[in-house]
Structure 1
Amino acid sequence: MTTSQRVALVTGANSGLGRFAARALVDAGYQVVGTSRNASGLADERGLSFVELDVTRDESVAAAVDAVIARFGRINVLVNNAGMGLNGASEENSITQSQRLFDINVFGVMRMTNAVLPHMRTQRSGRIVNISSIFGLMPAPFMAAYSATKFAVEGYSESVDHEVRDDGIRVVLVEPGGTRTGFDDNTAEPDNPLPVYEHRRRRSNQAVAEQVNNGDDPAVVAKAVVAAATDENPKLRYPAGSARQLVALRRFAPRRAFDKQLRKSLAAGK
Structure 2
Amino acid sequence: MPKQKVVVITGASSGIGEATARLLAQNGYCVFGGARNPSRARPISGVKFGTLDVTDDASVVSFVDWVLSEAGKIDILINNAGVSLAGPVEQTSIAEATKVFDVNVFGPLRMIRAVLPSMRSARSGLIVNISSVLGFLPAPFMGIYASTKHALEGMSESLDHEIRDFNVRVILMEPAFTNTNLDVNSANTEAPLGVYSSQVEATMKTVVAQIKSAPGPELVAERILAALEGPYKMRQPVGRQATLLSRLRRFVPAKGFDGSLRKSFGFRKA
> Into which bin does the TM-score normalised by the smaller protein fall?
over 0.9
Counterpart code for 1:236: M
* Alpha-carbon separation, structure 2, partners of 1:57 and 1:8: 21
* Alpha-carbon separation, structure 2, partners of 1:141 and 1:152: 17
Counterpart code for 1:61: V
Counterpart code for 1:203: A
Q: What secondary structure is seen at the aligned counterpart in 2 of 1:113?
A: helix
- Match of residue 97 from structure 1: 96
Query: Normalising by the residue count of structure 2, what TM-score does the alignment of the two structures yield?
Result: 0.95
Q: Name which of structure 1's ranges 111-120 and 193-202 shifts more when overlaid on structure 2.
A: 193-202
Counterpart code for 1:227: A
Q: What secondary structure is seen at the aligned counterpart in 2 of 1:267?
A: coil
* Alpha-carbon separation, structure 2, partners of 1:27 and 1:251: 37
Counterpart code for 2:234: L
- Match of residue 176 from structure 1: 175
Structure 1 residue 122 corresponds to structure 2 residue 121: yes
State the 1:193 CA deviation: 2.4
Q: Which string of whole-angstrom CA distances, capped at 9 and with x for unpartnered residues, describes residues 8-51 of structure 1?
A: 00000101111111112112320111111111233543211101
Q: Name which of structure 1's ranges 7-16 and 41-50 shifts more when overlaid on structure 2.
A: 41-50
Counting only pairs closer than 5 Å after superposition, residues 42-191 of structure 1 correspond to structure 2 as 42-191=41-190
Q: What secondary structure is seen at the aligned counterpart in 1 of 2:34?
A: strand
Q: Which string of whole-angstrom CA distances, capped at 9 and with x for unpartnered residues, describes residues 114-145 of structure 1?
A: 00000111111010000000001111111111
Q: What secondary structure is seen at the aligned counterpart in 1 of 2:48?
A: strand
Q: Give the superposed CA RMSD.
A: 1.4
- Match of residue 234 from structure 1: 232
Q: What secondary structure is seen at the aligned counterpart in 1 of 2:31?
A: strand
Counting only pairs closer than 5 Å after superposition, residues 214-253 of structure 1 correspond to structure 2 as 214-231=213-230, 233-241=231-239, 242-253=241-252
Are residues 102 and 248 of structure 1, via their aligned partners in 2, closer, same or farther at CA, if it must alter by over 3 Å? same
- Match of residue 264 from structure 1: 263
State the 1:185 CA deviation: 4.3
Q: What secondary structure is seen at the aligned counterpart in 2 of 1:92?
A: coil
Are residues 59 and 186 of structure 1, via their aligned partners in 2, closer, same or farther at CA, if it must alter by over 3 Å? farther
- Match of residue 25 from structure 1: 24
- Could you tell me which runs of 5 or more consecutive residues in structure 2 were left unpaired when the two chains were aligned: none
Aligned length: 267
4+ runs deviating over 4 angstroms? none
Q: Which string of whole-angstrom CA distances, capped at 9 and with x for unpartnered residues, describes residues 58-90 of structure 1?
A: 000000000111111111100000001110110
Counterpart code for 1:111: R
Q: What secondary structure is seen at the aligned counterpart in 1 of 2:232?
A: coil
State the 1:254 CA deviation: 2.0
Q: What secondary structure is seen at the aligned counterpart in 2 of 1:158?
A: helix
- Match of residue 38 from structure 2: 39
The answer to whether the Cα contact below 8 Å between 2:184 and 2:208 also exists between their aligned partners in 1 is no
